[in-house]
Amino acid sequence: MSADTVNATRPLAALTSGPLQGRVRVPGDKSISHRALMFGALSTGTTRLKGLLEAEDVINTAKALTALGAPIEKIGSEWHVKGRGVGGLRQPDGPLDFGNSGTGTRLMLGIIAGHDMTVELTGDASLSRRPMGRVLTPLQKMGLEIEGARDRLPLVARGSASLVPIVYELPVPSAQVKSAVLLAGLHAAGETSVIESEATRDHTERMLRHFGAEVRVAAEGGKTRITVVGDAELTGCDVVVPADPSSAAFIAAAAALVPGSDVTVEGVLINPTRIGFYEVLREMGCEVDFLDARDEGGEPVADIRVRHAPLKGVHVAAHRAPSMIDEYPILAVVSAFAAGETRMDGLAELKVKESDRLAATVAGLHANGVDAKADGDTLFVNGGRQVRGGGTVATHLDHRIAMSFLTMGLASQEPVTVDDTSMVATSFPEFLSLMQSLGARFGTSAGQA
């Protein structure tokens, strides 16, 4: 069955597949795509973007920025953003709908904070269940106002043209909170600093410099202080968006699990804050090589080659979570095929993603005969070289749960079914077609491929 003929709102089964072989390129990195659009809108002049992720989450950010007065259009293979400068966006005519995108919502709150306007932010059912309190707390200290005592969408936010700069220490590692505060800091007079005890994704710092902002990063008492100078002036520029390592992780995992596989994913972002999953794969015994490492637009990229090998269980310490927080569901699936116990610590963040990913992951493993449990913020998976499969997984409208368990089915003894794939389009619309191009098999039932 072709991926194009699958009704995305109905169950889909992943079937046991032969060796996966070939070279593919996954879509552009979602984190960088969001930021490139936003920074372009806050710049003067035109920003031209190549390789932008054309998935629902990113498109919703583009629509929101257009509604705020920064037109965005696709011309040929490029996306062009007509910037309005820091503080230059305007009151939208209606609510801004972010669909399923937590990143788009939280970062946009940082932008809205610096504008004298009132904006309603909405999202789908899944996003509306996700708490926004951690990002609202520092932004409200700077001057953002929220109608009512709400921390979930829909939210009505009122910004200010006179934000107060702050020094804010992150209570838990969060690149989204850090980025929102730094974005608000662009509009504040003086210097705004974020202090983090554990490193988080640094795309905002790198890209702000690329657009001309003054950003300083300094070690301070065992922690890191990131400072942005306010009243900033950003200048439109060209950005090449590298391939998303979180999307590539599903293909890498499939190659690691299906015997005889040898797959290369081209042009993948290998920023040190994003490659924890690949480091763990190596520790488990998988053959993972970064080929032709190079720099593109201020970010390191490489072609990632993954070959199947017998895997063993490992201990993944809590300090590694920020570098692979989105990859824990697929790592749990990989762990099911690894001999012995895999222990993953520090997973509190998984409970407030598109779903409670920790609970959804454990339930999906149980449905397919895998011994696993969550104890507080720790996940234990007792793996073996064979996984029975045969279960149906509740995705809870979570794209990463859907893709993780479809990947499981490619190597399990019996097909693995997920209850819905419609949400996969939020981050990786080409997931099924790229997997099929490498030899993966899917169908609407165990007997139909």
Query: Catalytic positions, please?
Result: 326
Q: In 68-148, which residue ranges form alpha helices assigned H by DSSP?
A: 102-113, 133-142
From residue 96, give the alpha-carbon distance in Å to each of 52, 60, 153.
21, 9, 11
Q: What is the DSSP string of 20-49?
A: -EEEE-PPBPHHHHHHHHHHHHTEESEEEE
Strands 215-220, 223-229: parallel, antiparallel or unpaired by DSSP?
Answer: antiparallel
From residue 301, give the alpha-carbon distance in Å to each of 48, 132, 242, 290.
20, 32, 7, 9
* DSSP H or E stretch at residue 407: helix 399-409
Nearest to 400 by CA among 269, 244, 263, 174: 244
The whole-angstrom separation of Cα 92 and Cα 107 is 17
Nearest to 195 by CA among 157, 238, 227, 232: 227
At 242, which amino acid appears? P
Sign of CA dihedral 11, 308, 241, 325: positive
